[in-house]
């Protein structure tokens, strides 16, 4: 398949693994990765493992990211991390607005624009996660929810910055459930996102921005998902925790 944008395969380790398993996994991935010219691969690790994981990844094209950040640089924000802190321990990117942050920890939409802005200002590559719940989909509110999340998440982004920004479409009902969105649902959501970016930030931004799909991606379904129009990569949770499942996703073209 001739792709306009470089495929981006990302693993979200969430609050999983321990230090030794995290280091084993990153060493295995690094060992299998080529020069990084044909795809971008990254892992979003628990913050306490960032320094060690990024030390292993150093010198390779592997990206290493945090799973959240606060928009302030310092202050009385117990339990939070600033962009500068993430950079200091070797992160080069960060997840923003993952559905678990939005729904389990009640992070509101209007935080996301500030977080994206801060990430860009700190020289971190943000991956803004958006997606509808099952209830929202069943009430035909998917388009409205995605536009609302785009509006707030991209509120402070310039058109020229879309090369450094990635959007992950992750239907909440598909995350960790084994239920994957259909090719039609994925194609429709990704087309809506790209069109929205084009309308707000211009045609060049729409062509350059990468849009990932996330939600129960496995070695068996990755090739079909990657063939879907407007899909530039995948954000993988459960299947990113083991080489047996993550490596075949990274090498998705070779799947039968």
Q: Least separation, in Å, of the C-beta of 110 and ligand PEP?
A: 22
**Binder among 236, 245, 246, 249 for ligand PEP (CB under 6 A):** 236
226 near ligand PEP, judged by CB under 6 A: no
**Binder among 235, 246, 249, 250 for ligand PEP (CB under 6 A):** 235
Is the CB of residue 87 less than 8 Å from the CB of residue 123? yes
Footprint of ligand PEP on 11-50 (CB under 6 A): 12
Q: Which of 100, 107, 136, 170 is catalytic?
A: 170
Q: Which of 98, 132, 136, 161 is catalytic?
A: 98
Q: SS3 of 212, please?
A: strand
Full DSSP string of 82-148: BHHHHHHTT--EEEES-HIIIIIS---HHHHHHHHHHHHHTT-EEEEEE---HHHHHTT-HHHHHHH
Instruction: Say how far apart CA 72 and CA 75 lie, in whole Å.
Output: 7
Is the CB of residue 135 less than 8 Å from the CB of residue 171? no
Q: Least separation, in Å, of the C-beta of 44 and ligand PEP?
A: 9
Report the residue closest to ligand PEP, judged by CB.
237
Query: Which segment (1-9, 67-75, 214-222, 246-254) binds ligand PEP by CB under 6 A?
Result: 214-222
Q: Least separation, in Å, of the C-beta of 73 and ligand PEP?
A: 27
Q: Least separation, in Å, of the C-beta of 57 and ligand PEP?
A: 20
Backbone angles phi, psi at 223, to 5 degrees: -65, -45
- Whether 40 is catalytic: no
Each residue 164-183 as x (binds ligand PEP by CB under 6 A) or -, in order, gives: ------x----xx-------
Give me 86's structure tokens: 């993430």
- Residue 118 CB contacts under 8 Å (≥ 6 apart), including other chains: 69, 70, 71, 72, 82, 83
127 near ligand PEP, judged by CB under 6 A: no
């Amino acid at each position: 398949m001739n792709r306009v944008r470089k495929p981006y395969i990302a693993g979200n380790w969430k609050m999983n693994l321990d230090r030794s398993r995290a280091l084993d996994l990153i060493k295995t991935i690094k060992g299998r990765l080529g020069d990084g010219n044909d795809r971008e691969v990254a892992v979003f690790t628990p913050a306490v493992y960032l320094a060690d994981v990024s030390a292993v990844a150093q010198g390779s094209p592997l990206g290493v990211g945090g799973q959240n950040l606060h928009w302030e640089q310092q202050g009385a924000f117990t339990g939070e991390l600033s962009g500068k802190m993430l950079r200091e321990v070797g992160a080069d990117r960060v997840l923003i607005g993952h559905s678990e942050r939005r729904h389990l920890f009640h992070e509101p939409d209007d935080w996301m624009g500030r977080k994206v802005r801060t990430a860009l200002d700190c020289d971190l590559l943000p991956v803004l996660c958006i997606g509808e719940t099952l209830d929202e989909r069943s009430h035909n509110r998917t388009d409205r929810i995605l536009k609302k999340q785009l509006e707030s998440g991209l509120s402070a982004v310039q058109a020229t910055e879309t090369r450094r920004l990635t959007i992950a479409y992750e239907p909440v009902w598909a995350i960790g459930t084994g239920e994957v969105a259909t090719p039609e649902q994925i194609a429709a959501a990704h087309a809506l996102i790209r069109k929205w970016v084009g309308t707000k930030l211009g045609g060049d931004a729409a062509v350059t921005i990468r849009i990932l799909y996330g939600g129960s991606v496995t070695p068996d379904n990755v090739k079909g998902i990657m063939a879907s129009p407007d899909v530039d990569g995948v954000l993988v949770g459960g299947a990113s925790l083991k080489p047996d499942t993550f490596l075949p996703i990274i090498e998705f073209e070779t799947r039968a």
